[in-house]
Chains A and B, each alone.
Chain A
């Protein structure tokens, strides 16, 4: 099917790259995960676990969001719950780094976060779409304060090294010129009767009017330099007050140059379901969600517990685990049922007596690469110099994207997301030592913001394949693998059920972990209620 054996032809390569760039990282990982269409969360209401637990106990492996949700719901329903967690903290990929935090990655490099008080960086999930109802409901129920996350900002930069001499372009200009140029072209074709086969006579005038409106075309259906176009792409000189207040219009870029720049590829992100406003973030860092769950169920969690084997029998499930603080002796935890949220990258290495189909499924899902770099700067030059308040900009440099903080506008310092990558660039970032990742992010980012050189203070980097608790970023389902194995991942196998983003159609999203967990909790409770012996 693919032309294996030699690298793809240049044109094919270019096409593929364009598609990749078009979606930014997000579309790519969604597509990589066999999810061609954005799936809306199917959550509608908190689970009703009625009828009591009948004295049943549940062992939960992993205190990420899937494990925390299960612990919260089941303990409230009366189950005896215990949770084993590998890390010294709960939350898993729901994680925030702040000044003073230490992070040791696989390979042994330890970073100590030197961010100023109040500044932070979310190495994992960092934004919540408005339709992730389950996650939003838990935020509400647990009192996690939310604030807007700025995804789309007309004033961020779009950048490609071979476009406009490598000079970053403002999003609003690219968007306006792309749309205006296409509207003008279509209007011409319509007027010349070239679309007569596709457009009825009655629709023709309406089409022309809509193109004028959509593309800011003038009375002659031209996309020209005037108030209408400057009102979209911005002014060469801003409107002001007093005698010198008259604005100067800006000059649109012609369609040929806009198309050739390929910067239009980054505009699509705004149209994707998961990135359409509004998006939200917890005030103070994404881990506020994990911490809120810990307030509810923290007493049930045993930290620093590395699971080494999982054995089920007719009556229950036993997990063997080692205390990572004092390795050597193996301890046991046992319950009637087990909800295992350990990422498949790790679970595929842990002996566990489940059915052959589930075992095959566990080994069938490789984990996607991703890397992030957070950079602290002495001043918010992006606000002070560039008037960029939040938002995500894109580049074809290896750093992939820049995101400006959505909070703390007008304060002195800030932490930028200086790089967020998937695919090849993230493999390469991960292969670097943490300090080198930060240096590279600063070096590349200074091509977009020369202020980097003066203002950079310190940074943190996370390459997800070096995360000791996940060995990768998220389960990378292919459509073929889903077809073959997804149902087996989701089955309750004897007394063991798996949960996590890897058991959902919302890969990498916290909502996927939550919905997967709720699905397991409800099915398990139904079995217990029915008096099932597994």
Chain B
């Protein structure tokens, strides 16, 4: 039997925890695996992003801060939120492994056209693909 090297096993396991489990009956509050693969920008926001950025996208403040996505001038360019979703930074975890190019584009486009943001330009899956490391 091939003995997998430790690092690759660790990488596999690290990936695994970002992969959802099968829910035969999808509870309304949780995306099942199939739904997760097809999740729209809005679903990704309500199931993941709002855990920190809150349902109204106004962020929160404790000992540290979760930035508001509503009315955030950093969303003026789609590149910034795209990079943050893909790679994370500081307290923000990376989500590039969890979502497809289409989904990353979908959530960025959703953020930039909701919560008082009215940007009309959008990004495509190809834009996301180009930004992946």
Cβ contact of B27, chosen from A431, A443, A466, cutoff 8 A: A443
Contacts of A479 in B (CB 8 A): 7, 10-11
Closest chain A residue to B32, Cβ basis:
A398
User: Known contacts A106-B60, A471-B63: does B22 contact A427 (CB below 8 Å)?
Assistant: no
Contact with B along A344-369 (1 / 0, CB 8 A): 11101110000000000001001111
CB B7 to nearest CB in A, in angstroms, measures 6
Closest chain B residue to A166, Cβ basis:
B24
Identify 5 new A-B residue pairs, CB closer than 8 A, beyond the known A8-B15, A424-B17, A427-B51.
A13-B33, A106-B61, A350-B64, A366-B91, A479-B7
A13 to B37, CA, bound (A): 11
Cβ contact of B62, chosen from A20, A463, A471, cutoff 8 A: A471
A107 to B96, CA, bound (A): 26
A175 to B89, CA, bound (A): 42
User: Known contacts A398-B27, A440-B30: does B21 contact A349 (CB below 8 Å)?
Assistant: no
Contacts of B128 in A (CB 8 A): 5
Within 8 A of A (CB), among B1-43: 6-7, 9-25, 27, 29-31, 33, 36-37
Can you list 6 residue pairs at the A/B interface with Cβ under 8 Å?
A: A16-B15, A166-B24, A366-B94, A424-B19, A428-B51, A472-B91
Cβ contact of A20, chosen from B19, B31, B63, B92, cutoff 8 A: B19
Closest chain B residue to A2, Cβ basis:
B97
Contacts of B101 in A (CB 8 A): 4-6
Q: Is A161 an interface residue (CB 8 A)?
A: yes
Within 8 A of B (CB), among A20-38: 20-21, 23, 27-29, 31-32, 34, 36-37
Contacts of A396 in B (CB 8 A): 21-22
A368 to B66, CA, bound (A): 15
Asked if B17 contacts A32 (CB within 8 A), the reply is: yes
A166 to B25, CA, bound (A): 11
Contacts of A222 in B (CB 8 A): none
Asked if B30 contacts A398 (CB within 8 A), the reply is: yes
Cβ contact of B13, chosen from A28, A108, A430, cutoff 8 A: A28
CB B80 to nearest CB in A, in angstroms, measures 16
Asked if A425 contacts B51 (CB within 8 A), the reply is: no
Chain A count of residues within 8 A CB distance of the other chain: 72
Asked if A106 contacts B62 (CB within 8 A), the reply is: yes
Q: Is B117 an interface residue (CB 8 A)?
A: no
Asked if A478 contacts B20 (CB within 8 A), the reply is: no
CB B59 to nearest CB in A, in angstroms, measures 9
Contacts of A166 in B (CB 8 A): 24
Asked if A440 contacts B29 (CB within 8 A), the reply is: yes
User: Known contacts A162-B22, A471-B91: does B29 contact A36 (CB below 8 Å)?
Assistant: no
User: Known contacts A161-B22, A162-B24: does B51 contact A369 (CB below 8 Å)?
Assistant: yes
Asked if A424 contacts B36 (CB within 8 A), the reply is: yes
A470 to B9, CA, bound (A): 29
A23 to B52, CA, bound (A): 27
A13 to B22, CA, bound (A): 11
Q: Is A19 an interface residue (CB 8 A)?
A: yes
Closest chain A residue to B125, Cβ basis:
A5
Asked if B13 contacts A31 (CB within 8 A), the reply is: yes
Within 8 A of B (CB), among A57-104: 86
A8 to B20, CA, bound (A): 12
User: Known contacts A349-B90, A425-B21, A465-B51: does B96 contact A31 (CB below 8 Å)?
Assistant: no
Closest chain A residue to B14, Cβ basis:
A32
CB A339 to nearest CB in B, in angstroms, measures 17
A460 to B14, CA, bound (A): 28
Q: Is A469 an interface residue (CB 8 A)?
A: yes
Q: Is B46 an interface residue (CB 8 A)?
A: yes
A292 to B49, CA, bound (A): 38
User: Known contacts A398-B30, A431-B51: does B13 contact A8 (CB below 8 Å)?
Assistant: no
Asked if A349 contacts B65 (CB within 8 A), the reply is: yes
Asked if A428 contacts B48 (CB within 8 A), the reply is: yes
Cβ contact of B37, chosen from A7, A15, A28, A476, cutoff 8 A: A7
CB A406 to nearest CB in B, in angstroms, measures 26
Q: Is B70 an interface residue (CB 8 A)?
A: no
Asked if B47 contacts A431 (CB within 8 A), the reply is: yes
Q: Is A246 an interface residue (CB 8 A)?
A: no
Contacts of B61 in A (CB 8 A): 106
Contacts of A106 in B (CB 8 A): 52, 54, 60-62, 66
CB B123 to nearest CB in A, in angstroms, measures 14
Contacts of B50 in A (CB 8 A): 431
